[in-house]
Structure 1
Amino acid sequence: MSASRPRSSAIQARLATTLWRTLAGRRLASLWRLSRLIGPLVYRLSRRERDVTEINLAQVYPDQSAAARRCLARDSLTHSTATMLELGFAWMADPNRVETSIVEVHGRELLDDARAQGRGVIVLAPHFGNWEVLNFWLSSHFPFTAMYEPPKVEGLDPVTREGRERMGAKLVPTNPRGVAALLKALKRCEAIGILPDQEPNWGSGVFAPFYGRLAYTATLLPKLVARTDARVVTGVARRIPGRGFAIHFLAADEQVYSPDEEQSATGVNACVEDAIALDPAQYQWEYKRYRKVIEEQEGHPDHGSFRLY
């Protein structure tokens, strides 16, 4: 049984790599049309993604009708499908093609001004639009460092790493050594990337509101700010279906600069909400953002029986 798992992983990696290399040569308009065909099938056939997406949307948009939320869920899974199909484009296509697909850049002055003041920049990059295109742009225009956790399918590690590093990005591990590398990059007035909407391990975060409900949120940001005086911006690559991408950099909520971890985490979640407001369908709602709340409640029966998933 254990011997079959490496073989299965290797087959998955070869199939995914072959698919991405094939799709890398396709036009973005073709990939979007393909996404519009596959996305509704994902919504119908992938119960886990559909259910989690609809549950999350019910929490954050309670005033919308159920029909409107179902429509948004289908659109969201279509955009998530597009992101997966576009990985080959972001990682393997000719760099000139990727660069020219970025047809708009908004807010670049937030990064330029911070670096002109001799300060590093922390880019909060939520799972919105195509974050691999954002990585491409950032590493093409700035010295850029980001944390990296190898994919679960081991054979995809070299493909993922090569794709993310090809324009000069430096990837560091998600451990104290990686945090030290982020600090050094900020002190050199460089840019670093942080995923603000991934739930950290217990002990590495605090509960802070996200659309009015508590979500376990990482506390790495205030530690980095306190030790470097870095500026914080939110960055996303918004998909313009069939045409390309628009890069948006948004000024961070001022709470992110608070030394109080809960207040800073509240600011981080507000930054994610601001990015989502650009186009809610492009956020990856199929992630169980409130999962740690459930785990915490299950460990403390006196907290009641509230459940989401």
Structure 2
Amino acid sequence: MAKRRQRPTDPRDPRLWPTRVGLALFWLIGQLPWDLLLALGRGIGHLGWWLARKRRHIALTNLRLCFPELSDTEREALARKVMVSTGEALMEMAGSFHNRRIDLGQRLSVTGLEHLEAARERGQGVLLLGMHFNSIDVGSRLLGKFFTFSVVYRPNDNPLLDHLITEGRGTWLKHSVDRRDLRQTVRLLRQGEVVWYAPDQDYGTEHAVYVPFFGVPAATITSTSRIARMGKAAVIPCAHYRLPGGRYKIEFGEPLTDFPSGDDEADTALINRTIEHYVRKHPEQYLWVHKRFKHQPGGQPKYY
């Protein structure tokens, strides 16, 4: 059996030269006016519906599982919107990382900020319950207008892409914490810091339980309750939406009550219900191109 080639880890590796060219183009695109960026993103999304067949299949599968009440026609229409939103997100990333001239705060409305401010006045750390909406990068930049915060993330396997993301977000982030570094996350919370943490992807079955997400068993990590307990933190939902006309909205929810409860499964089910509540407001903007139900209980069919 042929040995699998290792991915390059040295940024100087010649195999990463195409990435360098792509990142240079990404920087150039990021200089475009914001409304033009979004229009370009919509075009990319429409094109992606026909070319990115694998992602289209994943999105359609997720929507079939999570929205069984929709007809096939309604589900396809929603999936098209998902692809368009994903295209907009790619261009938003370019602008968020590389265009400091535009004041995105003029395009922003916020609700529920008082919940976060109340926790901080008590000197309590805040674990922002993040969600993988497509506007994740522009949302992070906008959050930085109100407070300094850190984010828990999974490092990218490509060192150049990882550098792009950490440097692009670094302007408004205090720390980018590897999701495996639980101690650093807890330390920041005990110091009264704000930490953004999103547990709504399929990270495998280790330290995970199967709890419903839109009524479908989803492997979901139990770390949220453990981090909140160890960090003595308030857990506050944080959703960010793209509005018509290139405007944005950040919505902070009330802190989760009786959380953590000591029951990991019940706590994780509450997390999924909370995220589902916010996703239903703008389902076309959620990251449905991710295999959220990749792992299933033993004997269950594979969805993808």
Asked if residue 193 in structure 1 is aligned to residue 196 in structure 2, the reply is yes
In structure 1, C-alpha distance between the alignment counterparts of 2:7 and 2:179, rounded to whole Å: 29
Structure 1 residues 71 and 172, CA, compared in 2 at 3 Å: closer, same or farther?
same
Letter in 2 for 1:194: Y
Asked if residue 104 in structure 1 is aligned to residue 109 in structure 2, the reply is yes
Once superposed, which parts of structure 1, at least 4 consecutive aligned residues long, lie more than 6 Å away?
Answer: none
* Pairing partner for 1:250 from 250, 253, 261: 253
State the partner residue of 1:9. 16
State the TM-score, normalizing by the size of structure 2. Answer: 0.90
> Alpha carbon RMSD of aligned pairs, Å?
2.1
Output aligned runs, 1:1-309, within 5 Å. 6-12=13-19, 14-94=20-100, 97-101=103-107, 103-175=108-180, 178-251=181-254, 254=257, 256-293=259-296, 296-297=297-298, 303=299, 306-309=301-304
* Larger displacement relative to structure 2 (270-279 or 52-61): 270-279
Q: Per-residue deviation at 1:134?
A: 2.3
Q: Per-residue deviation at 1:10?
A: 2.9
Q: Per-residue deviation at 1:129?
A: 3.5
Q: Per-residue deviation at 1:58?
A: 0.7
* Higher helix content, 1 or 2: 1
Structure 1 residues 7 and 227, CA, compared in 2 at 3 Å: closer, same or farther?
same
Q: Per-residue deviation at 1:2?
A: 5.5
In structure 2, C-alpha distance between the alignment counterparts of 1:83 and 1:111, rounded to whole Å: 26
Structure 1 residues 115 and 253, CA, compared in 2 at 3 Å: closer, same or farther?
closer
Is the contact between residue 121 and residue 232 of structure 1 (CA under 8 Å) also seen in structure 2?
yes
**Number of paired residues?**
297
Letter in 2 for 1:119: Q
Q: Per-residue deviation at 1:15?
A: 2.9
Task: Give unpaired runs (5+ residues) of structure 1.
Answer: 298-302
Is the contact between residue 119 and residue 229 of structure 1 (CA under 8 Å) also seen in structure 2?
yes
Task: Give unpaired runs (5+ residues) of structure 2.
Answer: none
1:141 is paired with a residue whose SS is coil
Is the contact between residue 221 and residue 256 of structure 1 (CA under 8 Å) also seen in structure 2?
no
Q: Per-residue deviation at 1:88?
A: 1.7
Letter in 2 for 1:75: K
Q: Per-residue deviation at 1:142?
A: 2.2
Is the contact between residue 142 and residue 190 of structure 1 (CA under 8 Å) also seen in structure 2?
no
Letter in 2 for 1:60: C
Q: Per-residue deviation at 1:45?
A: 1.8
Q: Cα deviations across residues 176-220 of structure 1 (Å, max 9, x unaligned)?
A: xx2111111111111101112122243221111101111011111
In structure 2, C-alpha distance between the alignment counterparts of 1:168 and 1:212, rounded to whole Å: 35
Q: Cα deviations across residues 136-174 of structure 1 (Å, max 9, x unaligned)?
A: 233343231222332232222222111111124211222
Structure 1 residues 19 and 252, CA, compared in 2 at 3 Å: closer, same or farther?
farther
State the TM-score, normalizing by the size of structure 1. Answer: 0.89
1:48 is paired with a residue whose SS is helix
In structure 1, C-alpha distance between the alignment counterparts of 2:41 and 2:103, rounded to whole Å: 20
In structure 1, C-alpha distance between the alignment counterparts of 2:258 and 2:294, rounded to whole Å: 24
2:302 is paired with a residue whose SS is coil
In structure 2, C-alpha distance between the alignment counterparts of 1:4 and 1:136, rounded to whole Å: 30
